[in-house]
Amino acid sequence: MRLLVVNPNVSASHTETIAAAAREVATPGTIIDAVNAPFGPRYIDSRGEVVISAYATLMALARHADGHDAAVIAGFVDPGLGAAKELLPIPVVGIVEAACLTACLLGTRFAIVALGPRLVPVFRDLVRGYGLSERLAAIEAVDDPDELLVENRSAAVAPLAAAARTAIERAGADVIVVGGAPLADIVPELTNALDVPVIDGVRSAVRQAELLVGLGWRKPRTGSYSRPGPRPLLGVPSEIAALYAAGSEN
């Protein structure tokens, strides 16, 4: 099995961290190919950057998905996930959706802890869109001035653990979801610091992508996630145009 993991930002170091987490949990025989977005922000921290990253993610998927059995979008805003599910002939899993669904298997209510408060409303909208608002206990965000903690992740462990304890003690969270693909490497430390399960989206998404492939997932031929019929697009890169030119028969 071959899985494509796309980091929706342009940071090669973040991609290395994400790839390491993916390979750590992948089953024997699964090959992980990790790429970062061809353009866009180094770290996604605003609604505008979410939109830019969604387009960049589609570009990366269009360029690299051929030859893969499934793909993972490893950005904690699931940028471009709906479009990717619609346009690609393989299953595509986002790390937010994967982490939240996994958390629901381990407890009644989960909380998200993340760096930076700006995207909290975006996280809340995503959870609502996945139909899991009633399972969401809280979203706790740690201030990350100038992205210092995402680059010095060992320093982020203590404040994220403190935020998680707040969600556990005050909101009754049974499970903690760590918000941010670049934080995958500190999940073991957070697990040791807390008394409830700690869920990482990258690892969850990889295993769920493997599950879908193993179950014999098929592309829907009707409904909102079926591929649209062939249509011309003006002014877009050839890779994106090719996703539409292929048409609904695929």
Where in the chain do CATH 3.40.50.12500 domains reside? 2-94+204-245, 96-200
At residue 114, the pLDDT reads: 93
**For domain 2-94+204-245, which CATH number applies: 2.60.40.1180, 3.40.50.12500, 3.90.226.10, 3.30.470.20?**
3.40.50.12500
pLDDT at position 247 is 57
pLDDT tens series, the chain, 250 aa: 999 999 999 999 999 999 999 999 999 999 999 999 999 999 898 999 999 999 999 999 999 999 999 999 999 999 999 999 999 999 999 999 999 999 999 999 999 999 989 999 999 999 999 999 999 999 999 987 656 666 777 788 999 999 999 999 999 999 999 998 888 889 999 999 999 999 999 999 999 999 999 999 888 989 999 988 787 888 999 999 888 886 554 4
Q: What DSSP letter does each residue of 42-98 carry, written as one string?
A: SS--SHHHHHHHHHHHHHHHHHH-TT-SEEEE-STT-TTHHHHHHH-SS-EEEHHHH
Say if CB 111 and CB 136 are below 8 A apart.
yes
CB 140 within 8 A of CB 111: yes
User: Which burial class, exposed, middle or buried, applies to 37 when counting CB atoms under 10 A from its CB (0-12, 13-18, 19+)?
Assistant: buried
* pLDDT at residue 56, as a whole number: 97
Amino acid occupying residue 11: S
The alpha carbon of 167 is separated from its chain's Cα centroid by a whole number of angstroms, namely 22
96-200 maps to CATH 3.40.50.970: no
Alpha helices in the chain (DSSP H): 12-25, 47-64, 81-87, 95-106, 120-129, 148-151, 157-171, 187-193, 201-214, 238-245
pTM of the entire predicted model: 0.94
Alpha-carbon torsion (127, 131, 133, 136), positive or negative: negative
Q: What is the pLDDT of residue 250?
A: 44
Q: What is the DSSP letter of 131?
A: T
